[in-house]
Structure 1
Amino acid sequence: MAKVYFLIGGNLGDREQILSKTVCLLSERVGQIVKLSSIFETEPWGFQHELRFLNQVVLCETDLVPLEVLNATQSIEQNLGRVRKKNRYSERTIDVDLLFYDDLIMDTERLELPHPRMGERMFALTPLAEIAPHFIHPVWKKTVSEIKFDCTDSSIVKRFKA
């Protein structure tokens, strides 16, 4: 079984309910949920929008190969109303990013693992460090905690209280 870390998040609709539904669908379509981070509220990253994001990291065990996992996550996004826009950074109901698939290094047209931009994003590193502070990035050879410490993103990331 592979351990897969996902970053899930969105800023449209009932954000908490959509995160919860995403976790349920990951459990149904990808594999057993092993750990969940707290939910964090963050400002939009890479674009301006009046609505803040809720983000969470999910650790899942799966027997699916990486591209099967990607297909499952894209189907989940579509089922939950995700509309992909030309601009990579925009408002959305849900986004499901694969951060790590074990310590696999992969670079294809459809999927790059580990996630290539996670080290620039405090909204990804904060919940990831909460549940996997000692996980070693297979390319950078640093722990998640070290990557978070080195991150220059000054975005405000705070624990969400409903």
Structure 2
Amino acid sequence: MHHVFLGIGGNLGNKQDNLTKVLLIIENKLGAIVKKSSVYETPPWGFDAEENFWNIVVQIKTELAPEELLLSIKTIEKGFGRKPRKENYTSREMDIDILYYDNMVVDTEQLKIPHPHIPERLFVLVPLVEIAPGFSHPVLKKSSVRLLENCKDASKITRIEL
């Protein structure tokens, strides 16, 4: 079994329902959810949009290889109406990123693990610190807490009570 951290978020549709649905799908298609962060509301990162995002980080146990996991995630996102993107960032009902896969480093055209933007994003680091404060980035060799301390993202991040 492999331990994987996923960053999950969206800013379109019924965000609470979408998160509930995607977590059930993840359990059924990808693997058991071991830990789940609180939900955080954040502004869009890298583009302008009218709606803020709701984000969480989950840790799952999976038997899927990294490439199989990516294909399954793309299928899940497509089920939420996500289309292959031509521009960098857009609003969406559901986005799922592989943040970490064990302590593996993957660098292919289709897949980069660890996710290259982890150190730059509060919407990833705050929920990651909540569930895995001591997890060490396999390339940077810094814990989630240390990455958060060094993050320059000044976005407002608000924990949502559901």
Interval of TM-score (by shorter of Structure 1 and Structure 2)? over 0.9
Three-state SS of the structure 2 residue aligned to 1:72 is helix
Aligned partner of 1:64 in structure 2 is 64
What is the CA-CA distance between 1:80 and the residue it aligns to? Answer: 1.4
Task: Give unpaired runs (5+ residues) of structure 1.
Answer: none
TM-score by length of 2: 0.97
Whole-angstrom distance in 2 between the partners of 1:86 and 1:98: 20
CA RMSD of superposed structures (Å): 0.8
Aligned partner of 1:109 in structure 2 is 109
Report if aligned partners of 1:83, 1:92 keep a CA contact under 8 Å in 2: no
CA shift digits 1:116-155 (9 cap, x unpaired): 1111111111111100000000000000100011000000
Aligned partner of 1:127 in structure 2 is 127
Three-state SS of the structure 2 residue aligned to 1:34 is strand
Identity fraction in percent: 44
Aligned partner of 1:95 in structure 2 is 95
Whole-angstrom distance in 2 between the partners of 1:84 and 1:120: 23
Aligned partner of 2:21 in structure 1 is 21
Moved beyond 4 Å, runs of 4+: none
TM-score by length of 1: 0.97
Aligned length: 162
Task: Give unpaired runs (5+ residues) of structure 2.
Answer: none
What is the CA-CA distance between 1:54 and the residue it aligns to? Answer: 0.1
Matched letter for residue 74 of structure 1: K
Aligned partner of 2:32 in structure 1 is 32
